[in-house]
Amino acid sequence: MNIFVFKTSFDASKYAYNLFENALKEGASTFGLATGSTPEELYSILRDSDLDFTQATAVNLDEYFGLPADNDQSYAYFMKKHLFDAKPFAQTFIPDGTATDVEAEINNYNTILDENPVDLQILGIGPNGHIGFNEPGSPFDSKTRLVDLTDETIQANKRFFESEADVPKQAFSMGIGSILNSKQIILMAFGENKAKAVEQTVHGDVTEDVPASVLKNHANTVVLLDEAAASLLDPSDYEVIG
């Protein structure tokens, strides 16, 4: 795991953009995408770029259970707004939050992932170390499933909803095993509220209690941080860029 620290989240996002550009040049065809505030600047840079994804596939990490794609808090809506409307892909996949046959939806998403191996995966991190919606305790070999969100995650994500009661209690999430199948992973974390999760990920054991810690077992993961997210690390843990 190579860790790079930047002055600002925008500088880190530009670096992530360059990794996208290189991956495309080298023939990457499937991109694993994430939602949340962390990748917003990256998506803005991608929207304004001339990179062409019309031959590429996007597979998203997760979706709230119960939210239709036209709900403005759904991750399908987020992706259209922040990336897909401006930057079309040949195909985009995201779990269907309104699926009534949960098992069929899970099987369907696992088949999509088998047929579209991810070349480059973007990840954010939850304050409790979750990746996608793989909460603490998620098995490292997990595949797509319906997960119960922890109170900590509901608290962290309620800022996007009118009230806490509106935050869905479950979500479909790509599993950790599927995430680890990606050839290259970029984990991004910005802001002081991520510093603890970053510190536990970097300094702690590889443990299911801190889902992101498993990335230390992945051969090609880069971690891009701003100074606040890196504030609990030792300078010897990372390289400063810029």
**Distance of alpha carbon 219 from alpha carbon 21, whole angstroms:** 20
Comparing CB distances to ligand GLP, the nearer of 54 and 83 is: 83
Residue from 82, 96, 105, 128 carrying the catalytic annotation: 128
What Rg, from alpha-carbon coordinates, does the chain have?
17
Residue 218 falls in the annotated catalytic set:
no
Residue from 41, 60, 130, 199 carrying the catalytic annotation: 130
Comparing CB distances to ligand GLP, the nearer of 56 and 122 is: 122
Spatial CB neighbours of 30, under 8 Å, sequence gap ≥ 6: 56, 57, 58, 59, 116, 117, 118, 119, 120
Residue 72 falls in the annotated catalytic set:
no
- Closest-approach residue to ligand GLP (CB): 124
Comparing CB distances to ligand GLP, the nearer of 49 and 155 is: 155
Binding site for ligand GLP (CB under 6 A): 34-38, 61-62, 124-126, 132-133, 153, 157
Comparing CB distances to ligand GLP, the nearer of 73 and 98 is: 73
User: Could you please report the per-residue DSSP string of 93-148?
Assistant: E---TT-SSHHHHHHHHHHHHHHS--SEEEE---TTS-BTTB-TT--TT--SEEEE
State the nearest-atom distance from the C-beta of 55 to ligand GLP, in Å. 26
Q: How would you classify residue 114: left for phi > 0, otherwise alpha for psi between -120 and 50, otherwise beta? A: alpha
Residue from 135, 157, 199, 226 carrying the catalytic annotation: 135
State the nearest-atom distance from the C-beta of 130 to ligand GLP, in Å. 6
Active site residues: 62, 128, 130, 135
